[in-house]
Structure 1
Amino acid sequence: MKSLKLISSAIAMLICFVTMAQERTITGIISDENKQPLPGVTIINQTSKANTQTDFDGKYSIQAKTGDMLVITFIGYKTQRQKVQNSNIINIKMLPEMSSLQEVVVVGYGRSDSEYEDRSYARTERKAKKMVQAEMVQGYVAGVQVQNSANYIPSPIAIRGNANITPKNEPMYIIDGVPAKANQMSKINPNDIDNVSVLKDQAATSIYGSRAANGVVVISTKNELYKNLTEKELDKKLNIMPIPTEPTQEDYDAFVENAFESPKTAPLSTFSIDVDNASYTNIRRFLNNGQQVPKDAVRVEEMVNFFKYTYPQPKNEHPFSINTETSNSPWNTNTKILKIGLQGKNIPTENLPASNLVFLIDVSGSMSDMNKLPLLKQSLKILVNELRPKDKVAIVVYAGAAGMVLPPTSGDEKKTIIDALDKLQSGGSTAGGAGIELAYKTATENFIKDGNNRVILATDGDFNVGSSSNSDMEKLIEEKRKTGVFLTCLGYGMGNYKDSKMEILADKGNGNYAYIDNIQEANRFLGKEFKGSMFAIAKDVKIQIEFNPKQVQAYRLIGYENRKLRPEDFKNDAIDAGELGSNHTVTALYEIIPAGVKSDYLAEQPDDLKYTKAEPNSNNYSNELATIKFRYKKPDGEKSIEMVQVIENKSVVLEKASDDMKFSTAVAWFGLKLRDSKLISNKSSNDIAVLAKQGLSNDPDGYKAEFVRLVEISKQFN
């Protein structure tokens, strides 16, 4: 009996030792003293030397064993140490290292070096003020660095403690409430400066959004000399000559915006849905960088569909609900806006099919910038954290040639997948075609019947080896679409970004397309909206609308220029169309000129013709504005299912319309303004912002509020 007890004790101790030796995933949230999440906090496993950083929501994930020591560090906060015990969840509250300074006052004190010794105090003071103009910030706030520059060239300022993804850690500058650039700040007379404030982390991004990811330097002058000035006016007042913009190598497809059509001559409007939103995040990148948005980079439907709207869940056997609303137009007198909204069914994560994913990653030399491969790797780690044990991931890379760096690996082996991502480095040319071939081959060899089979292509789109032309890529991806494998395109970078190739690949490859301009966008698309981005619940979704000519004199589809179909394509199941993801929303807007209304946008109408004159009909459908039809296939189906709904001829004034109607219309309005549309009469940024603010409800993540800020930023280009 005694020996039996000893054996039992030994087994228990052995199990304990084995348990302690097992490495597991530790997760948690790092917050500040006010319980607000901290992004960019570094967590290091002191034993294994593994390290990670918190995302935008303060969340982290790291591998550790019982007894390992986690060291948590962040600029401006005391270092924390936490021993791993039995729990897999460790939340940490950081404590400030020192009191935050609310204001930095500029004073004109000189330095004691020999250069000043033989000069008058007044002259010394003036020169010292110039030299400390940038340096005045350093030393007062934890984590602020200033690089000295000769000849009074503007000194680069870096505010550390942020999860930076741009090549430079340069902060945002605000002068008397006006967003400014470093060269503008350097031109301000130091004698005019009243005070300088430095904002970091959440204090900065909560006010100025993602533009403030590297901190904000706020300068106030004594008499608010530069208040309410545009960037051009600020340059003029500071005597700054405009710098010629460098030629861009970015590539966008040109297209002509949809014109008004008559339902008598064009009775049917047919198009494919579009759930992509790459255009919006790309526009955001331009505006946040103080650059004018290229006209062809603006696809209005992708701007509108970046945002989520409060449409009801479907209540029947179909995978989406249909919702319509009509109100007056804010940009043209006497026209109306018809909104069509689809709401995809929200399928619980545990009920989603198993995923067979292949990461196809561009590791060519053009991907070396910080906002390309380094951001790409961090982005895909967010996706990896969403995977379940039944999911699997393979990693294929391409540069001068294509190769597999990770065979299909279970979703519960997150460390193995992340380690493979961490080892990726850039170099060489870009054999994109070879990479696509290998990725699809890998996906089809590991195909899961009734599962989510998908290639995730992450690149700047700069294919320059092998099948490089857009037509070659289109043929290749159309052929691969027949395998039943879906495609997600993730775009990164700037300067040589090839939007045209990315859009073609997504459009022709049963796919969707997102432009990742920062880690917050990666967290939104690959984390928070993981289900909608990665799991299709309906494919080849087409819309066809027939307007009642008794009620509608003319109509035009706003956006979707690259998604229009011929009327006969609607019932042709061989014609490709867009995909709808779990819980996704899709919104389309039409502008309508009602019957009997005069409009400058209508061409001269021909006289009634003898053989096309319609016979009188006792039923003029006066209560119907239009009839709308939808066709879609199940994700693994080949035959379309059709839905039909009548749109009643009723409208409300915009002031009484839903918040979704107001906001989606404001976004479309802004897109039309950026495209310099000839079909809108009112192009006031102020009016756009006012309408958007009226529709700001249901904005838990602040994306709609950020949109209003972008409209404000765009005023400098008016």
Structure 2
Amino acid sequence: MLMVMGFQESFAAVKTITGKVTDKADGKGLPGVMVSLPTGKTYTRTDKDGRYSISVAEDAESLSFSYIGYKTLRVKIGKFSSLNVVMEHSVQSLNEVVAVGYGTMKKSEIVGAAPANVMIRGMASGIWVGPERNTESYAGISENGFRNPGKNPLSTFAVDVDAASYSNVRRFINNGGMPPKDAVRIEEMINYFDYEYPQPKGNDPVNIVTEIADAPWNANHKLVQIGLQGKKIPTDNLPASNLVFLIDVSGSMNQPNKLPLLIASFKLLTEQLRPEDKVAIVVYAGNSGLVLPSTPGNEKTKIKEALNKLSAGGSTAGGAGIQLAYQVATDNFIKGGNNRIILATDGDFNVGASSDKDMESLIEEKRKSGVFLTVLGYGMGNMKDSKMETLADKGNGNYAYIDNISEARKVLINEFGGTLFTIAKDVKLQLEFNPDKVQAYRLIGYENRLLQDRDFNDDKKDAGEMGSGHTVTALYEIIPAGIKSSFLDSVDKLKYQFNKTPVRGNGSAEMLTVKLRYKTPDGHTSKLISKAVIDQSAPFSHTSNNFRFAAAVAEFGMLLRQSEFKQDASYGQLIGIAENAKGKDKEGYRSEFIKLAKSAKLMAEELLSSAKK
């Protein structure tokens, strides 16, 4: 069913116009055509058959029909309630991409044109979006493969509580297109959701939970879930905050789904502040500047007025802005408090320290001050995902992508403590696998969080952070001992040295041991937690909602990535699993995931059908 997106031009009487848009060359319906009033404030898109329905004011004079690769048409409405339109190819625009709503859809996915430029015509949070060049960038991901515990008994990685990938993937799918495969970081998709793990009971701020069952995409394999639960601290008991809002006001932010959405987001956060908290605002464009000195959290009107005065323009001196933000944060440092910079940007740094390497070095140096860094990404078309992820990882912080005001509410209100208050830093996991039980193992996701085995005991090695109430989930796919698999290496015996065979028959019932290291937020020496996991699995259908839902999200990620390890994964299967594992779902995030998976399923089927024609 089509939904008219946008706002009515007035509260006058309205009428509904329906019709079909077809291609002049072959007479077939055109999907994804933008049908709008000339102002663009009311619009919709045609469905997969080229049909549309749009409600307009009674006195509306014309409709505009635009589609990349075709000549734009303006058709008078008159007294008609049905308008069928025939569109003709335009050679000049065949190299364009159309983005509708708050994402992009390559025309090549529909009619085979090669994308080069992007024209964005749509609504982001109810606001018109103008032209923008598509220069989004993502770090390449080479998926983890299966490893032999005889040769590689240890698996070591830093935890990841970032969730930016999921909301970014959602942006693409809600717009009608599949995300680039490197935009899909499976661990971030899994960790977007809360899991009902038990709270820590001892002195440690983190609890380890494990579960084992058959893998849903291969019944001969096992799936192991490692869950971490951070101690939840009531908001009233959280330490005082010294915050610096570091806001990108460069020209690239001059889009309604960037700076206006950003300002609205920070107003939400302002409402959460307490009298003992304080906030400063630093902006950067061609230059950086302090627009609000450190101000008590109960002076909300003053903070909001400073936000309201922001406007975008100029180049992006991100390095200078970060330097000033750290200076302001350290000048107002609260000992034992939450000292944090919240950087809001599209990641487009083009003046001063701009390369990932330069920014990484700058942040690594500045984090020694004890100031943490949270990164909030905004916008589309030129979003620099790889840079924002690097900043958050190296700044002892987290990274979220804000695609709409609802996501801002989730990150800055619902997950206020987890986003802004660190309870454990440099959190690392190391698993040792028993070759008597495990023939091969594979960590699902976390490709950019892998560590050397020796890094686990090295307290100088940076790792991930966990906030108040945060959960972290990691999944391993296991090929049990004795199971034949095409994923197992077939290597000839060595000729010039001994062929080492792992020691077996140790008699242990353990499948693996989980070790975790963490530091307190102001600590320098790590603490160790260890837990042995017995080889005792339940049928998949008898596992917890936590386990099954995480498995469904992982399966979804593998399908989106077109992973070589997806095996018997399918949209139908993961949707069924997720529907039966929603649990309480108080905020509706799991229900939203199911709708998202269903939309992706329809698009995947359509693409497959088109490929067969």
Q: TM-score, normalised by structure 2?
A: 0.81
- Alignment map for 1:163-312 (pairs within 5 Å): 170-171=43-44, 241=111, 244-247=114-117, 248-312=134-198
The 3 A distance-change label for structure 1 pair 677 and 301 is same
Find the counterpart in structure 1 of residue 439 from structure 2: 553
Give the equivalent residue in structure 2 for 1:566: 452
8 A contact 1:400–1:428 mirrored in 2: yes
Q: Give the aligned partner of residue 391 of structure 1.
A: 277
Check if 1:447 corresponds to 2:327.
Answer: no
CA distance in 1, matches of 2:288, 2:201: 46
Q: Is the 8 A contact 1:257 1:559 kept in 2?
A: yes
Matches within 5 A, 1:126-525: 132-133=17-18, 155-156=35-36, 170-171=43-44, 241=111, 244-247=114-117, 248-525=134-411
Letter in 1 for 2:36: P
1:626 aligns with 2:519: no
Distance 1:252 1:427, change over 3 A: same
CA contact 1:158–1:170 (8 Å) conserved in 2: no
3-state SS, counterpart of residue 283 of structure 2: strand
Q: Residue 710 in 1 paired to residue 596 in 2?
A: yes
Cα distance in 2 for residues equivalent to 1:520 and 1:292: 22
Specify whether residues 404 and 286 from structure 1 end up closer, same or farther in structure 2 by C-alpha distance, changes over 3 A only.
same
Structure 2 matches for 1:30-109, cutoff 5 A?
A: none
Given that residues 150 and 501 in structure 2 are in contact (C-alpha distance below 8 angstroms), is that contact kept between their aligned partners in structure 1? no
The more displaced of 606-615 and 371-380 is: 606-615
Shift of 1:570: 0.2
Give the letter aligned to residue 620 of structure 1: G
Pair 1:264–1:169, CA change in 2 (3 A): farther
Distance across 1 between alignment mates of 2:112 and 2:82? 25
- Cα distance in structure 2, aligned partners of 1:158 and 1:650: 64
Q: Return closer, same or farther for 1:502/1:169 CA change in 2, 3 Å cut-off.
A: farther
Counterpart of 1:662 in 2: which secondary structure?
helix
Residue aligned with 2:475, SS: strand
Q: Aligned pair in 2 of structure 1 residues 436, 616: CA closer, same or farther (>3 Å)? A: closer
2:425–2:521: 8 Å Cα contact kept in structure 1? yes
Q: What SS does the aligned partner of 1:569 have?
A: helix
Question: Is 1:650 the equivalent of 2:543?
Answer: no
**Cα deviation per residue 1:42-77 (whole Å; 9 max; x = unaligned)?**
xxxxxxxxxxxxxxxxxxxxxxxxxxxxxxxx987x
Contact 2:241–2:276 (Cα < 8 Å) also in 1: yes
* DSSP-derived class of the 1:701 partner: coil
How many angstroms apart in 2 are the aligned matches of 1:605 and 1:628? 29
C-alpha deviations, 1:460-479, integer Å up to 9, x for none?
A: 00000011111101100110
8 Å Cα contact 1:429-1:464 kept in structure 2:
yes
CA contact under 8 A between 1:538 and 1:632: conserved in structure 2?
yes
Contact 1:666 1:691 in 2 (8 A): yes
Q: CA deviation at 1:604?
A: 0.7
Q: Distance in 1 between matches of 2:332 and 2:142?
A: 42
1:171–1:518 distance in 2 versus 1, CA, 3 Å: farther
Indicate the percent of aligned positions where both proteins have the same amino acid.
Answer: 53
- In the alignment, residue 704 of structure 1 is paired with which amino acid? R
- Deviation track 1:558-592 (CA, whole Å, cap 9, x = no partner) reads 00000000110001000001110101110000000
Whether the 8 Å contact between 1:358 and 1:393 is mirrored in structure 2 is: yes
Cα distance in 2 for partners of 1:637, 1:576 equals 13
Change (3 A) 1:537 1:606: farther
* Partners of 1:666 and 1:179 in 2: CA distance: 33
Alpha carbons of structure 1 residues 561 and 155: separation in structure 2 relative to 1, 3 Å: closer
Give per-residue Cα distances to partners, 1:164-198, cap 9 Å, x unaligned: xxx965457668999999779x99x98799xxxxx
User: Which letter maps to 1:717?
Assistant: A
The answer to whether the 8 Å contact 1:382/1:526 transfers is yes
Answer yes or no: is the 8 Å Cα contact 1:304–1:587 preserved in 2: yes
Quick one: structure 1 residues 477 and 616, their matched pair in 2 at CA, closer, same or farther if it must change by over 3 Å? Answer: closer
> Which of these residues, 551, 572, 577, is aligned with residue 463 of structure 2?
577
2-structure distance, mates of 1:494, 1:542: 32
Partner of 2:500: 612
Tell me, yes or no, if the aligned pair for 1:134 and 1:154 is still in contact at 8 Å.
no
Question: How has the CA–CA distance of structure 1 residues 178 and 297 changed in structure 2, closer, same or farther, with 3 Å as cutoff?
Answer: farther
**Deviation sequence 1:460-506 (CA, Å, 0-9, x none):** 00000011111101100110111110000000000011001001001
Contact 2:19 2:52 in 1 (8 A): no
- In the superposition, relative to structure 1, how do residues 642 and 556 fare at CA in structure 2: closer, same or farther (>3 Å)? same
Per the alignment, residue 550 of structure 2 pairs with 664
Structure 1 contact 172–212 (Cα < 8 Å) conserved: no
Task: For residue 378 of structure 1, report the CA deviation from its aligned partner.
Answer: 0.3
5+ residue gaps in structure 1?
A: 1-39, 42-73, 77-96, 107-131, 136-152, 160-166, 194-210, 214-230
Counterpart CA distance in 2 for 1:663 and 1:586 is 14
Structure with the greater alpha carbon radius of gyration = 1
The structure-2 alpha-carbon separation of the partners of 1:538 and 1:423, relative to structure 1 and needing over 3 Å to count, comes to: same
Alpha-carbon distance in 1 for matches of 2:309, 2:83: 51
Q: Residue 620 of structure 1: CA displacement? A: 2.1
* Counterparts of 2:203 and 2:568, CA distance in 1: 43
**Residues 1:317 and 1:606: Cα distance change in structure 2 (over 3 Å):** farther
Q: Secondary structure at the match of 1:407?
A: strand
Distance 1:334 1:392, change over 3 A: same
Q: Is the 8 A contact 1:548 1:626 kept in 2?
A: yes
Q: For residues 178-231 of structure 1, give each alpha carbon's deviation from its aligned partner in whole angstroms, at most 9, with x where no partner exists.
A: 9999779x99x98799xxxxxxxxxxxxxxxxx999xxxxxxxxxxxxxxxxx9
CA distance in 1, matches of 2:101, 2:329: 40
CA–CA separation in structure 2 for the residues paired with 1:574 and 1:174: 55
Do the aligned residues in 2 keep the contact of 1:158 with 1:171 (CA within 8 Å)? no
**For 1:565, what is the secondary structure of its paired residue?**
coil
Q: In the alignment, residue 263 of structure 1 is paired with which amino acid?
A: P
CA contact (8 A) 2:514 2:533 kept: yes
State the distance in 1 between where 2:146 and 2:242 align.
Answer: 44
Question: Alignment partner for residue 566 of structure 2, among 659, 673, 680?
Answer: 680
Shift of 1:243: 5.7
SS of match in other structure, 2:210: strand
Q: The residue matched to 2:518 in structure 1 has which SS?
A: strand
What TM-score does the superposition give when structure 1 sets the normalisation length?
0.69
Tell me how far 1:289 sits from its aligned partner.
Answer: 1.1
Does the CA contact (< 8 Å) of 1:338 and 1:592 recur in 2?
yes
Distance 1:307 1:319, change over 3 A: same
CA distance in 1, matches of 2:327, 2:194: 35
1:242–1:613: structure 2 CA closer, same or farther, 3 Å change rule? closer
1:428-452 CA distance string (max 9 Å, x none) = 0000000000000110111111100
Change (3 A) 1:179 1:438: farther
Which whole-Å CA distance do the structure 1 matches of 2:279 and 2:46 have between them? 42
Structure 2: 5+ residue runs without aligned partners? 1-5, 21-32, 55-64, 68-73, 85-99, 118-133, 606-613
- RMSD over aligned Cα atoms: 3.4
Shift of 1:714: 1.4
2: distance between equivalents of 1:686 and 1:178?
Answer: 27
